[in-house]
Amino acid sequence: METYESKILSLVEKNKNIVVITAENRISLRNIPPKLGANFIDVGISEQNLVGIGAGLAKQGFLPVMHGMSAFLTMRAFEFIRTDLGYPSLPSVLVGTFNGLSAAGNGTANGPTHQAIEDIALMRLVPNMTIFAPSDVTETCSGLDYITKLEGPLYIRDSNFGTIDIKREKFIWGKNECIVQGNNIAILSYGTILSICLEVSKKLSMQNTSHSVYNMRFLKPMDEQTLDHVFQNHKIIFVIEDHVNIGGLCSIVKEYAWENKKSQEIILINLKEHFFKPANFVVALDHAGFSADKIYEQIMMSMKGSNR
């Protein structure tokens, strides 16, 4: 199986302009630093410099792939990202780990200091930024194939190091995918929560409730074609994300609906304005209302309350 490490290593072997940088965040880079040689720089725990140094390298024609924990990368270094990568639109990659309800590394045990639950909102604010939130490592690796073609910065919300065992559409850069095709209700999600939504999907299928599940991995620029499809074919749209209510996929869908004068019912399941209760992943997920059972319950309750 291809891993993040093996993918990065093969990319650097093919393209010596790629420089892997980290702010001493090595969760996805444990074994490769010695193999990367001069193409690896660990700047220590200093996210602002991680991005500033990446910008200096990018300006000189290198492609920096910068690693940090999403909370510190997107918040501590926000101004550097906005001013030094976004404004000049420098081709560059920011890889954030431990975001939302992070299954990877049992990140939910960290507590509020480490919770990246506003990262999508922040990165959406950065001009020229692309946002990619893959749901498993296969998808992450497929996306990494495109980094040498970037025309500006890319934020990867790298949340899940496992793989989801499903049949998928061929990966197309910038394109979101419909994983389950039905009608009446649509479920839109990304990242860690997508796999939970697929469990919910099984429960809905058992009840013969027709529905679709969309993987909204590309959040900026938004793949409007997929949203057109969602709104053309469904009456109730559930948007489910491990992110605060402001600025993430929930906001994106509301903005789309307003701009396109859509009147479908949109139901939002997100973290509202709450830090979630820290615990082991499965417990934290359930407590925050994102276990398959809890999401299923919410969908069924909403369906009862809906007149559509």
Partner 1 sequence: MIKKFDNDAEFQEFVLHCKKNVAKMATNGGCFIGSAFSCMDILAYLYCNFFDTKKIKNNEKDRDLFVLSKGHAVAGLYGVLAELDIFPKKRLDNYLSVDDDLYWHPNASIPGIEFHSGSMGHGLSIGIGMAFASKIRNSNNHVVVLLGDGELNEGSIWESMLIASAYKLDNLIAIVDRNFHQANVKTEELIQLEPLDHKLSSFGWKTFSCNGHNFNEINEVFSEIKDDNSNKPKVIIANTLRGKGISYMEGNPQYWFANLEKEKVNQLIQELNSLQYNKK
Whose tokens are 């859509």? That residue is: 262
Q: Is 39 one of the binding residues for partner 1 (CB under 8 A)?
A: yes
Q: Exactly one of 8, 12, 29, 58 binds partner 1 (CB under 8 A); which one?
A: 58
Minimal distance, residue 152 CB to partner 1, in Å: 15
259, 260, 264, 269: CA torsion to nearest 10: -40
Q: What are the angstrom distances between the C-alpha of 196 and each of 171, 172, 216, 229, 282?
A: 21, 23, 14, 22, 11
Q: Exactly one of 4, 20, 62, 124 binds partner 1 (CB under 8 A); which one?
A: 62
Specify the DSSP class assigned to residue 86: I
H/E stretch holding 253: helix 249-259
Q: Exactly one of 27, 36, 41, 279 binds partner 1 (CB under 8 A); which one?
A: 41
Single-letter amino acid, residue 211: H
Distance, in Å, from the CA atom of 110 to the CA atom of 268, rounded to the nearest integer, reads 25
- In the bound state with partner 1, the residue whose beta carbon lies nearer, of 51 and 249, is 51
Q: Exactly one of 13, 79, 145, 255 binds partner 1 (CB under 8 A); which one?
A: 79
- Only segment of 38-46, 125-133, 146-154, 200-208 that touches partner 1 (CB under 8 A): 38-46
- In the bound state with partner 1, the residue whose beta carbon lies nearer, of 61 and 305, is 61
- Only segment of 78-86, 99-107, 214-222, 283-291 that touches partner 1 (CB under 8 A): 78-86
- Only segment of 44-52, 146-154, 183-191, 289-297 that touches partner 1 (CB under 8 A): 44-52
Non-local CB neighbours of 42 within 8 Å, separated by 6+ positions: 21, 22, 23, 24, 26, 33
- In the bound state with partner 1, the residue whose beta carbon lies nearer, of 12 and 147, is 12
Q: Is 275 one of the binding residues for partner 1 (CB under 8 A)?
A: no
The pair of structure tokens assigned to 40 is: 């690896």
With b for 16 or more beta-carbon neighbours within 10 A and e for fewer, the 62-101 pattern comes to bbbbbbbbbbbbbebbbebbbebbbeeebbbbbbbbbbbb
Q: Is 81 one of the binding residues for partner 1 (CB under 8 A)?
A: no
Q: Exactly one of 4, 72, 80, 290 binds partner 1 (CB under 8 A); which one?
A: 80
Q: Is 34 one of the binding residues for partner 1 (CB under 8 A)?
A: no
Backbone angles phi, psi at 248, to 5 degrees: -95, -150
- Only segment of 25-33, 60-68, 166-174, 256-264 that touches partner 1 (CB under 8 A): 60-68
Q: Is 89 one of the binding residues for partner 1 (CB under 8 A)?
A: no
Work out the end-to-end distance of the chain between its first and last CA atoms, rounded to an integer number of angstroms: 44
Q: List residues binding partner 1 (CB under 8 A).
A: 19, 38-39, 41, 43-44, 46, 48-49, 51-62, 64, 79-80, 83-84, 87-88
